[in-house]
């Protein structure tokens, strides 16, 4: 994500943090992993996965495998109705469990049988009690039916439904899914997403992955999109309205981009020129990062005004920013590796997403005729006073209120370039490639990245990371801090 609008999955081994959550019977599993459990009475799955920033995010005792979303959207009323089938595995013996969802629900079934349900905790938690307990390690199909007005709902102070009478787009971070489908809404639980959205004839729908087809009726059309690789719930999206669409292949990679026709003629043309840069930007990033991690790529420019761009998996979403904002495309496509393929373990690890995406902007600049990333780091360092609030943010744990603070982006990128200065260019890129290989398709934490950097470089980097990620102060300009 960037708040500067102008400007084949192989799961890794369980992290220590996630293993602890599983052992406590509170969190999701990874893949088909389940934990040994002592015989005990079924429990009510926890209403949160254990993330301290947003305690109600995610849910205990379940691991979602897939979402099959079937929705209908009415532009005039901004009403959304439909049903979602959630395929999940119980990771504990469960009497009940929760999904994160804001809309009014009329019916829930578990394995085809009616289930009791309630809405709790400010209507964010959909508590489901099946007809009989779910045994740990067993697979189940949960179908939730709903009909409501998403714009009427908020969570954690966020009113995230973005729509007018001609267009809608579901883009936001860290939360978006509960406004349009029931989810286990935390980065620790990735799942495959299949989306079918019905809209009036003549309107288009764009979503993640590949367009699988359209079913045209007398008055409405159902658009079917499916992503092949699992994703974090907030990265799933759909946009509906009037869009110009272009597509093709670049070096074998299918791409599809779209631009809202609600924009003025000049903005439409400029936005399409920017979107068409997508496949070439991916090819450029692959030179440093290795193969693009997904099977398709693209982008969409909305005619609405979100005030930010977002790294929705396989198809980032953008405001209209003109044809020259290549760095914004670089940022969101770099997130396909950092944030999408490798998601954060907890939201406190957000610098691993935003720092890397910002650093790859700097890298793009230095490889395309601009200043070196080392020069950009030095300019940041020399021109931001030690008394600035920029240095007060603890980048490695910024807190929920500063999770997207400018320091998370800027100092995150500075940390990576300073590490590059400290260990040398060859070793730095070895660290990055090893991180991408070892964490592929899973989640990563700050502690894991620090351990890997020390292991690959053969250096004791504890004081270095303390200075950059944990000290609420400007690092000393020393060689040990990558500033000598």
User: Do you find a cis peptide bond into 174, omega within 30 degrees of 0?
Assistant: yes
Question: CB within 8 A of 36, min separation 6: which ones?
Answer: none
Please report the pLDDT score of residue 121 as a whole number: 72
> Average pLDDT in the 424-441 region?
98
9 pLDDT exceeds 80? no
Query: What would the pLDDT profile of 242-285 be if each residue is shown by its tens digit?
Result: 999 999 999 999 999 999 999 999 999 999 999 999 999 999 99
Residue 369 domain flag: yes
Residue 221 domain flag: no
What is d(CA 65, CA 91) in angstroms, rounded to the nearest whole number?
Answer: 12
Q: What is the CATH number of the domain that holds 465?
A: 1.10.390.10
Question: Quick one: which of 66, 132, 50 has its CA closest to 95?
Answer: 132
At 253, list the tokens. Answer: 């990679």
Cα–Cα distance list, 58 to 271, 289, 302, 346, 421 (Å):
36, 30, 29, 11, 38
Residue 404 domain flag: yes
At 263, list the tokens. Answer: 């924009």
Please report the pLDDT score of residue 24 as a whole number: 40
Q: What is the CATH number of the domain that holds 22?
A: 2.60.40.1730
Q: Per-residue b/e over 377-393, b at no fewer than 16 CB within 10 Å?
A: bbebbeebeeeeebbeb
In which residue are the tokens 């370039």 written? 417
Residue 58 domain flag: yes
Residue 138 domain flag: yes
Domain boundaries, position 181: 8-157+172-195
168 pLDDT exceeds 60? yes
Rounded (10°) angle between helices 351-367 and 278-289 = 100
At 424, list the tokens. Answer: 């040398």
108 pLDDT exceeds 50? yes
pLDDT confidence tier of residue 2, bands split at 50, 70 and 90: low
Query: What would the pLDDT profile of 124-158 be if each residue is shown by its tens digit?
Result: 999 999 999 999 999 999 999 999 999 999 999 99
pLDDT confidence tier of residue 122, bands split at 50, 70 and 90: confident
Bridge partners (DSSP) of residue 145 are 83, 107
217 pLDDT exceeds 50? yes
Please report the pLDDT score of residue 368 as a whole number: 97
> Average pLDDT in the 296-309 region?
97
Please report the pLDDT score of residue 10 as a whole number: 30
DSSP string, 232-272: -GGG--EEEE-EEEEEEEETTEEEEEEEETTS-HHHHHHHH
Please report the pLDDT score of residue 484 as a whole number: 81
Number of structural domains (the chain) is: 2
Residue 280 domain flag: no
384 pLDDT exceeds 70? yes
At 107, list the tokens. Answer: 């019916």
Residue 220 domain flag: no
Residue 260 domain flag: no
What is d(CA 152, CA 315) in angstroms, rounded to the nearest whole number?
Answer: 27
């Amino acid at each position: 994500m960037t708040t500067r609008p102008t400007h084949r999955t192989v799961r890794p081994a369980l992290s220590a943090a996630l293993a602890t959550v599983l052992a406590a019977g509170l969190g999701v599993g990874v893949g088909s992993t389940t934990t040994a459990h002592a015989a005990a009475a079924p429990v009510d799955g926890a209403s949160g996965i254990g993330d301290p920033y947003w305690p109600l995010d995610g849910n205990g005792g379940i691991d979602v495998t897939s979402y099959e979303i079937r929705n209908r959207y009415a532009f005039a009323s901004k009403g959304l109705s439909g049903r979602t089938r959630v395929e999940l595995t119980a990771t504990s013996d469960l009497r009940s469990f929760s999904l994160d969802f804001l809309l009014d629900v009329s019916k829930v079934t578990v394995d085809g049988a009616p289930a009791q349900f309630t809405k709790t905790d400010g209507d964010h938690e959909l508590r489901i009690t099946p007809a009989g307990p779910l045994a740990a390690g067993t697979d189940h199909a949960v179908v939730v039916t709903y009909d409501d007005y998403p714009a009427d709902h908020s969570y954690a102070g966020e009113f995230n439904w973005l729509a007018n009478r001609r267009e809608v787009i579901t883009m936001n971070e860290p939360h978006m899914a509960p406004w349009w489908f029931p989810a286990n809404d935390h980065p620790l639980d990735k799942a495959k997403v299949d989306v079918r959205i019905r809209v009036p004839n003549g309107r288009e729908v764009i979503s993640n992955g590949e367009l699988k087809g359209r079913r045209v009726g007398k008055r409405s059309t159902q658009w079917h999109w499916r992503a092949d690789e699992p994703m974090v719930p907030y990265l799933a999206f759909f946009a509906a309205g009037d869009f110009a669409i272009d597509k093709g292949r670049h070096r074998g990679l299918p791409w599809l981009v779209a631009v809202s026709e609600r924009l003025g003629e000049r903005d439409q043309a400029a936005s399409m020129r920017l979107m068409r840069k997508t496949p070439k930007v991916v090819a450029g990033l692959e030179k440093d990062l290795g193969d693009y991690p997904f099977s398709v790529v693209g982008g969409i420019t909305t005619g609405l005004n979100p005030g930010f761009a977002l790294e929705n998996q396989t198809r980032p979403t953008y405001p209209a920013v003109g044809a020259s904002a290549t760095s914004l495309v670089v940022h969101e496509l770099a997130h396909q590796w950092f944030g999408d393929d490798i998601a954060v373990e907890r939201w406190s690890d957000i610098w691993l997403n935003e720092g890397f995406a910002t650093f790859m902007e700097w890298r793009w600049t230095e490889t395309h005729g601009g200043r070196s990333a080392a020069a950009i780091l030095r300019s940041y360092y020399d021109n931001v006073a030690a008394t600035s609030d920029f240095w007060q943010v603890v980048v490695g744990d910024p807190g929920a209120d500063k999770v997207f603070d400018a320091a998370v982006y800027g100092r995150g990128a500075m940390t990576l370039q300073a590490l590059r200065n400290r260990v040398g260019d060859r070793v730095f890129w070895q660290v990055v490639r090893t991180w991408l290989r070892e964490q592929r398709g899973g989640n990563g934490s700050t502690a894991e990245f620090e351990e890997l950097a020390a292991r690959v470089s053969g250096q004791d980097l504890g004081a270095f990371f303390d200075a950059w990620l944990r000290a609420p102060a400007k690092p000393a300009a020393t060689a040990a801090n990558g500033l000598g």
